[in-house]
């Protein structure tokens, strides 16, 4: 599977205002989120995967172990495995999130 088209991705709405498209490589999970202006914040949580957030458009506030940082286009954050983190959109935004290793349980997908 060297190429992935949007139609091949798994679509979901993990939270109100968060539209997601997911796909897996052999070792990683990728999430493309389009977040509405009035989207609910992503609650504080943790998981076994390392997670990298990359802001493509708009702004989002990420909290990693209680430390908040506002990220705009091109900004990124690396969240170590089993680390508490949360996200709060500042307005409409687009982010790409990569998880390693694979994240088999996807938010909003049953």
Q: Is residue 27 part of a domain?
A: yes
Q: What is the CATH number of the domain that holds 81?
A: 2.60.120.10
The model's pLDDT over 70-90, given as tens digits with 9 standing for 90+, comes to 999 999 999 999 999 999 999
Whether residue 84 is contained in a domain is answered as yes
* C-beta of residue 86 within 8 angstroms of C-beta of residue 63: yes
Structurally, the chain folds into a number of domains equal to 1
Task: Answer yes or no: is 109 within a domain.
Answer: no
In sequence order, the β-bridge partners of residue 15 are: 18
* Residue 68 within a domain: yes
- Strand arrangement of the beta sheet that strand 93-100 belongs to: 10-15, 18-24, 29-35, 93-100, 50-57, 76-79
In a domain? residue 4: no
pLDDT digits (tens, 9 = 90+) for 12-60: 999 999 999 999 999 999 999 999 999 999 999 999 999 999 999 999 9
Q: Residue 106: its pLDDT value, please?
A: 86
Selected residue with higher pLDDT from 2 and 4: 4
Query: Which range of residues forms the domain containing residue 78?
Result: 9-100
């Amino acid at each position: 599977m060297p190429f992935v088209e949007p139609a091949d991705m798994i679509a979901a709405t993990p939270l109100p205002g968060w539209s997601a498209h997911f796909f897996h490589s052999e070792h990683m999970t990728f999430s493309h989120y389009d977040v509405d202006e009035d989207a609910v914040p992503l609650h504080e949580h943790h998981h076994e995967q390392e997670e990298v957030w990359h802001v493509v458009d708009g702004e989002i506030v990420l909290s990693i172990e209680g430390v908040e940082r506002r990220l705009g286009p091109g900004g990124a954050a690396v969240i170590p495995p089993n680390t508490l983190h949360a996200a709060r959109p500042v307005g409409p935004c687009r982010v790409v999130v990569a998880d390693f290793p694979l994240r088999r349980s996807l938010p909003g997908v049953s």
